[in-house]
Structure 1
Amino acid sequence: MSTERVADYPRPPRLEPSADHVFVKFGGEILFDGEGCMRVLETFHPPTYYLSPDKINRKLLIPSAGRSFCEWKGVADYFDVVVRENRVHRAVWCYSSPTESFKEISGWFALYPGLMDGCWLNGEKVTAQPGGFYGGWISSAVEGPFKGDPNHPELI
Structure 2
Amino acid sequence: MKAIWNGITIAESDDTVVVEGNHYFPPESLKREYTTFSNHRTSCPWKGQAQYLSLLVNGEMNPDAVWYYAEPSEAAKEIKGRYAFWKGVKVVE
The structure, 1 or 2, with the larger RCO (C-alpha pairs under 8 Å, 6+ apart) is 2
TM-score (norm 2): 0.90
Aligned identity (percent) is 27
What's the counterpart of residue 41 of structure 2? 67
1:91 maps to 2:46: no
1:26 maps to 2:24: no
What's the counterpart of residue 17 of structure 1? none
The structure richer in strand per residue is 2
Partner SS for 1:54: helix
How far apart, CA to CA, are the structure 1 residues paired with 2:71 and 2:91?
A: 26
TM-score (norm 1): 0.56
Which letter maps to 1:115? G
How far apart, CA to CA, are the structure 2 residues paired with 1:79 and 1:69?
A: 15
Larger CA Rg, structure 1 vs 2: 1
How many equivalent pairs are there? 93
Summarize the alignment of residues 1-150 of structure 1 with structure 2, pairs less than 5 Å apart. Answer: 22-41=1-20, 47-112=21-86, 114-116=87-89, 118-121=90-93
Q: Unaligned 5+ residue runs, structure 1? A: 1-21, 42-46, 122-156
Moved over 6 A (4+): none
Partner SS for 1:107: coil
